[in-house]
Amino acid sequence: ENGTHTGTEAGTGQPGLSPADTAKNAAACRAVDFVEDGMRVGLGTGSTAAFMVRRLGQLVREAGLRVTGVPTSSRTAALARDEGIHVVTLAEAGWLDLTIDGADEFDPAFNLIKGGGGAHLQEKVVATASDRMIVIADPDKDVAQLGAFPLPVEVLQFGWEVTQRLIAELLEGQDVASRGITRRMGAEGPFVTDEGNFILDLHLGRIGNPPALALALNQIAGVVENGLFIDICDVVVIGHPDGHVTVR
């Protein structure tokens, strides 16, 4: 599907938002148009996804839309419940009609880098248990080649230093521009994911072969999941700072 739509035409314009938030909100509201009554919907994580959860909540409360939501993080679960969305586990839902989530980068093949918010493990499990994944993004995330955004890799805490060394060795044989690796930190020490793991951020600059890298990373025993989403995303909804939307 291709076309442009404006958030305000859809009745979703919100005065007082910054241009960046206007873009996120416009993409989020347009993506929610894909949600039909009775659907089971995967709820992504991040600032763009939060606009989507709030819009869905608004439709549940004000228009009586019936949806079942499966959140991809504890943060999104809390927000969805606050918004009055019926929240269940992925096991309870069984399978999803649609997942709507943000991304850190998307390329022309709709391959993604995700995990800037540290939730890509649950996000990938939920997205791959869905008939369709819709990514909501702003134009800054539209890239010719993935890799400027550091690639998040979730690793077990157990032996993480060895896992980091094995990743560094693996990167020697990969088509990437640079090879720095940092452990993600939070306010009070190492960042710990909802699943109790650490995140290593791979500073690659350019990823020449995303499918090959994604496969190779997941061969390392201490790697739980990498943030490359290969052949998972079906539709990208791009919100612009003036409120108009492009659907690809």
Q: Which of 134, 121, 140, 243 is nearest to 194 (CA)?
A: 121
Do 96 and 40 touch, CB atoms closer than 8 A?
A: yes
Only one of the segments 10-18, 116-124, 165-173, 200-208 lies at the binding site for ligand 5RP (rule: CB under 6 A); that segment is 116-124
Q: Which residues of 115-130 are buried (b: 16+ CB within 10 A; e: fewer)?
A: bbbbbbbbbbebbebb
Given candidates 119, 167, 228, 238, which one binds ligand 5RP under the rule CB under 6 A?
119
Q: Which is nearer to ligand 5RP, 83 or 123 (CB)?
A: 123
Does the annotation flag 107 for ligand binding? no
Given candidates 116, 147, 222, 239, which one binds ligand 5RP under the rule CB under 6 A?
116
CA atoms within 13 A of residue 228's CA, in its CB half-sphere: 24
Q: How far apart are CA 75 and CA 107, in angstroms?
A: 27
Strand pairing class (189-190; 198-203): unpaired
Instruction: Look up tokens 């009775």; give the residue.
Output: 38
Q: Which residues of 133-153 are buried (b: 16+ CB within 10 A; e: fewer)?
A: bbbbbbeebbbeebbebbbbb
120 touches ligand 5RP by CB under 6 A? yes
What residues numbered 11-50 form the site for ligand 5RP, per CB under 6 A? 44-49
Collapse the DSSP code of 93 into the 3-class scheme (helix H, G, I; strand E, B; otherwise coil) and give the result.
helix
- Six-digit token pair at 83? 């918004």
66 burial (CB, 10 Å; 0-12 / 13-18 / 19+) is exposed
Only one of the segments 11-19, 29-37, 79-87, 102-110 lies at the binding site for ligand 5RP (rule: CB under 6 A); that segment is 102-110
| Least separation in angstroms between CB 101 and ligand 5RP | 5
Given candidates 83, 97, 104, 105, which one binds ligand 5RP under the rule CB under 6 A?
104
Is 62 a residue of the active site? no
- Taking residues 141 to 170 in sequence order and writing x for each that binds ligand 5RP by CB under 6 A, - otherwise, the string is ------------------------------
- Taking residues 48 to 67 in sequence order and writing x for each that binds ligand 5RP by CB under 6 A, - otherwise, the string is xx------------------
Do 222 and 156 touch, CB atoms closer than 8 A?
A: yes
- Six-digit token pair at 228? 């490359």
117 touches ligand 5RP by CB under 6 A? yes
Given candidates 7, 42, 57, 118, which one binds ligand 5RP under the rule CB under 6 A?
118
Contacts with ligand 5RP by CB under 6 A: the residue count is 18
Q: Which of 105, 123, 154, 225 is catalytic?
A: 123
- Six-digit token pair at 13? 């314009």
Query: Could you tell me which residues are annotated as the binding site for substrate?
Result: 45-48, 101-104, 114-117, 141
Q: Which residues contribute to the site for ligand 5RP (CB under 6 A)?
A: 44-49, 101-104, 114-120, 123
Known catalytic residues? Answer: 123
